[in-house]
Structure 1
């Protein structure tokens, strides 16, 4: 069950803890490169779980680390969507299905390109909930399937912020409105007390 979500408080905490970057998971690595380590989610660097046994391994590893970090505390769970218009249809459509508790935290506009057709908007949704193992399994399973990216789970003081992210494959020329993405496997990052913790995802070439 989610607790009351205060978006202004979360924004102030983020600015205090991570002033170099907005709350976008992949930007944390570049801005705080000295503050992260990582674990593979499956043996042999396998990219995706294919059986229920492998899903169980992935979720167990996620929950083991998160429980070490957050046992007995509240956490913020942040999921990400994007759209081509400020109030347009958001992708991925699964996000609200697996994170119905999420309230709109903020929207980041990407309007630097002179071509308006290439403007896009990143929407961040968050909720605050008591941590327990399994509390975010629906979300974590979608991350493992490369459906959701940029997920952040952090304690209520933002002293530790494990994130799950993926990289999009680079394309030459003008980007299209719908772009294919490579399948990547999330690697779960290990904690460094008082520092952000990130997940590194390797891109297929």
Structure 2
């Protein structure tokens, strides 16, 4: 989809305002959630969703733990603010999927000469006031690995929460802010040296 090594050149169809915001805050990385942690390690921390770093919830009680951890961090980052929910949708068509309430940011496509194997990534954005639980259906899809590449950010894109199946990568405005959040939820960190 997007080559992390080269500079991100937004497609012609990209929303210029969102692209400017992204480039102002995250200039060294395209808006691809899983690439951010390696590019911005100085402001990155990863939290695991379940005790023992287990990846997938198995029952109602474990889903409650996963959503509690996601929402606790999201509340710390965004309480009282509007957020942008950034959700990629992958299809085999260049047509942007109908998505009421979601704004199209950009579409990228795999560079495959055979149209049969082309995959289109349509990146959609929803703006909403943050409140605990407002993204729970989306977060549950992420926890079940039926949705990927999601990012939640403030409207100036200063902080990013990237939930994935098993936890969340969080990027903060400064290393000091990252350290405070990391220390507050030390029990949710990986035991690995690299933090993954």
Bucket of the pairwise TM-score, normalised by the shorter protein? 0.7 to 0.9
CA contact (8 A) 1:78 1:124 kept: yes
Residue 51 (structure 1) shift: 1.1
Larger helix proportion of the pair: 2
Q: How does 1:166-205 map to 2 (within 5 A)?
A: 185-190=165-170, 192-194=172-174
Q: Which residue of 2 aligns with 1:155?
A: 154
Question: Aligned partners of 1:157, 1:194: CA distance in 2, in Å?
Answer: 15
Contact 2:160/2:172 (<8 A) preserved: no
* Long gaps (5+) in structure 2: 1-14, 179-188, 190-196
Q: How many residues align?
A: 165
Paired position in structure 1 for 2:54: 46
SS in 1 for 2:123: strand
- Give the 3 Å change call, closer, same or farther, for CA 31–114 of structure 1 in structure 2: farther
**Partner Cα distance (1:86, 1:162) in 2:** 28
Q: State the TM-score, normalizing by the size of structure 1.
A: 0.71
Cα offset, 1:10, TM superposition: 1.8
Q: Secondary structure at the match of 1:162?
A: strand
**For the structure 1 residues 104 and 29, does the alpha-carbon distance in structure 2 shift closer, same or farther, using more than 3 Å as the test?**
same
CA–CA distance in structure 1, aligned partners of residues 29 and 171 of structure 2: 20
Match of 1:15, SS? Answer: helix
Shift of 1:194: 4.3
Task: Please give the root-mean-square deviation of Cα atoms over the aligned residues, in Å.
Answer: 2.7
Matches of 1:189 and 1:123, distance apart in 2: 22
TM-score by length of 2: 0.74
Aligned counterpart in structure 2 of residue 83 of structure 1, from 67, 91, 102 = 91
- List aligned pairs for 1:61-140, cutoff 5 A: 61-87=69-95, 100-111=100-111, 113-140=112-139
Would the aligned equivalents of 1:75 and 1:128 in 2 still touch at CA under 8 Å? yes
Q: Distance in 2 between matches of 1:31 and 1:120?
A: 25
| Inter-partner Cα distance in structure 2 for 1:78 and 1:72 | 19
Question: How far off is 1:142 after superposition?
Answer: 0.4
Q: Tell me how far apart the structure 1 counterparts of residues 170 and 20 of structure 2 sit (CA, whole Å).
A: 25
User: Does the CA contact (< 8 Å) of 1:159 and 1:194 recur in 2?
Assistant: no
